[in-house]
Amino acid sequence: MTLTRNVSDITTSDSKKRKRVVFANIDAGIEANECIKVFLVSCPEEMDTADCFSTNPVDLCHFFGEEGKIYGYNDLKINIWISCVSFHAYADVTFHSTFNGSKGITDLNPIIQDICGESLVENKDEFLKTFSTEAQFFRNIISNGEVICSEASKGHDDASYSHLEPEASITEHQVVRMNLSNVPVGQLYDRLVALVHLFVDGGSPVDVTDPKWEIHFIIERNTDLGVETYFKLLGFATIYHFYHYPDSSRLRLGQILVLPPNQGRGHGRHLLEALNSVAISENAYDVTVEDPSDYLQHVRTCIDTLRLLKFDPIKSAISSTASQLKQGRLSKKTCQLRSNPPARVVDKVRQQLKINKKQFLRCWEVLVYLNLDPTDCHSMENYRASILDRMKVDVLGKDVGTAGKCVVEVPDDHDMTFVMFRSQAGGTDCTLDFEVDKDRKSQEEQLNHLLDKRMKEIFKIAEKVSLHCSSEAKLRR
């Protein structure tokens, strides 16, 4: 028996199915940093003028889900205002319209609350009142701190001090040290969390209840003929005291931020130098930095290289290393042995300058380069070989090059993985010959790329250090 369906029934059924099919509007979303602007203001009047400082935040995508985007808004603008007086924050969110597309509508309120933390106030009027009601908030807290270094300021150009006559005031830049477990200091830091999220890449708040955390503020202190003192926050750094057996501690820099309007004026250098002085005065084991940015590492290496140039106990070792690298073409093994700093030198630098071994090796490379002639091809070839050899150890491990072992780069779905193979009886497995050769070639290409990048960093630091030394020499004449 053959079963048939009436054509009209089929048409009616298909029509009903088609009516039930709905295509949602495709919403590509918008990157958070494309619609967020940050404004730093020192007085209420700046909010209504174009003179206030504005800047873009660091990448905030991790606050907005896995895809890091905002959905459901047309012409979205998020302006975050931060008071440089009380460090409260106010967010002004505007948009033309919303639409419920394929991803829905992002709820912005809890996300902005997460970004700004305790500093966020609900409306503009409340935000404006904080300039007067909490005008002494920062001063009252910072006045109780320990001043660990101070230097005269070359002047200021901040609008909040515009009412002062230059000849009637004394301006200093100070680094003030405080413990974050102190309740008022912890409350101040809670308000600074918005700055951490907005301007420190990958920044996250520290635990203010842990007594091992402390904070160093760099401030501008302006005294009007002793009548009144004004304080302005320029930046800050958080430091953690790790226990080191048996009776010392390691100082780790957790986060450092110079507020965007004050960047490029040496305040970051001032903070790092203050940390070094604390480490030396308290005889800490050494100083380390947690996940430094490329720029922070550059500044830190410039500072430490200048310190090491004046450190007499290592001068003969640097001179000896440079002299050996000038001796024609050296074998790779010879380059490695002759370019490493002696263990006693590494230990003496750590003991007296508190520079850890890894950081000292970075500076050592610069110090050796400064003692070479860049136009001497043989010495520079030896120098590059020594840097490459050290990079191989850092990237692939100490056993690279050992007979019977082979490090192979294996691609996976997300990244490149290094795998070490050990052949039987110290030989080479013939079945891996082709893959090993291919991967070694890839490794060499990547290592040479890293070497070129490192050499550029060394040249840049050496140039800056040389310019600084030349300037100091001119001043002494």
Higher pLDDT, 362 or 409: 362
For the stretch 132-155, pLDDT in tens is 999 999 999 999 999 999 988 755
Looking at the predicted structure, is the pLDDT value of residue 414 above 60? no
pLDDT at 439 over 80: no
Instruction: Write down the mean pLDDT value for the chain.
Output: 84
pLDDT digits (tens, 9 = 90+) for 190-249: 999 999 999 998 889 999 999 999 999 999 998 875 567 789 999 999 999 999 999 999
Q: Is 290 a catalytic residue?
A: yes
Strand (E) or helix (H) holding 25: none
Q: Exactly one of 151, 290, 444, 463 is catalytic; which is it?
A: 290
pLDDT of residue 154: 58
> Which range has the worst mean pLDDT, 245-254, 333-342, 446-455?
333-342
| Percent share of the chain, pLDDT over 90 | 61
pTM for the full predicted model:
0.81
Cβ 61 vs Cβ 106: under 8 Å:
no
Identify the pLDDT of residue 443.
Answer: 78
Q: Which of 23-32, 272-281, 439-448 has the highest mean pLDDT?
A: 272-281
pLDDT of 425 strictly over 70: no
Residue 407 has pLDDT above 90, yes or no: no
pLDDT at position 12 over 60? no
Does 419 have pLDDT greater than 90? no
CA dihedral 182, 185, 187, 193 (to 10 degrees): -130
pLDDT at 392: 82
213-224 and 228-244: which strand pairing? antiparallel
Q: Which residue is associated with the tokens 């300021």?
A: 153
Q: Band the pLDDT of 378: cuts 50, 70, 90.
A: confident
Tell me whether the omega of the peptide bond preceding residue 246 falls within 30 degrees of 0, making it cis: yes
Give the contacts of 462 (CB within 8 A, at least 6 positions apart). 366, 369, 370
CA distances from 126 to 45, 166, 184, 190, 303 (A): 15, 33, 22, 18, 43
Determine the pLDDT at residue 229. 78
Burial of 364 (0-12, 13-18, 19+ CB in 10 A): buried
Which residues, in sequence order, are CB contacts of 408 under 8 Å at separation 6+? 418, 419, 420, 421, 432, 435, 436, 439
Lowest mean pLDDT among 66-80, 238-252, 332-346, 351-365: 332-346
pLDDT at 127: 96
Question: For residue range 56-101, what is the model confidence (pLDDT) as tens digits?
Answer: 999 999 999 888 899 999 999 999 999 999 999 999 999 999 998 8
With cut-offs at 50, 70 and 90, classify the pLDDT of residue 400: low
User: What's the half-sphere exposure (Cβ side, CA atoms, 13 Å) at 166?
Assistant: 6
How does pLDDT run across 153-165, given as a tens digit for each residue? 755 445 444 444 5
Structure tokens at 189: 């830091």
For residue 103, pLDDT over 70 is answered with yes
